[in-house]
Amino acid sequence: MAETPERLSARPSWLLTQLAVHAHRLASEGFAEAGARGYHYRILAALGEFGPASQVQLGRRCTMDRSDVVAAINELSERGFVERAPDPGDRRRNIVSLTAAGHQQLRRLDEALDAVQDQLLGPLGAAERATLTHLLARLLEHHAR
């Protein structure tokens, strides 16, 4: 950043943007090493935390477009990580659930993402990481209203 004008480097918005690009690249590489993409992790994480869900619910929870949800679920289903079954309450809708292999893949992806966090936040200690995470979550919550 020695060549970056101070008008930029002193602005949190610029710093966040630059770091987001770096974080996205690291996460994409980490997921790729585990044979996955970010969309896969989002869906597996939502199913792991909240249980079976419709594709619409997954799209909302994961902030994904409907077509991206369908494509990712198709890929996860082909690999045996999720199963689709007709919703007993509405046969037009599918309910997606995590399989045993999906739980294992989610653990692998959690480990990959943990390694990415260590890489990204390397110079920060545990307390600083917790503070940064808290502040970023607070800002995101404020702007999501």
Q: What's the mean pLDDT when you consider all of the chain?
A: 94
Residue 78 is part of a domain; what is its CATH number? 1.10.10.10
Q: Specify if 111 maps to a domain.
A: yes
**What CA–CA distance (Å, rounded) separates 74 from 90?**
20
Q: Specify if 71 maps to a domain.
A: yes
Over residues 65-120, the pLDDT tens digits come to: 999 999 999 999 999 999 999 988 888 889 999 999 999 999 999 999 999 999 99
Q: Specify if 1 maps to a domain.
A: no
Is residue 62 packed enough to be buried (19+ CB in 10 Å), middle (13-18) or exposed (0-12)?
Answer: buried
Q: Specify if 52 maps to a domain.
A: yes
The pLDDT of residue 1: 59
**What CA–CA distance (Å, rounded) separates 74 from 48?**
17
Q: Specify if 112 maps to a domain.
A: yes
The total of structural domains in the chain comes to 1
**Entry pTM:** 0.88
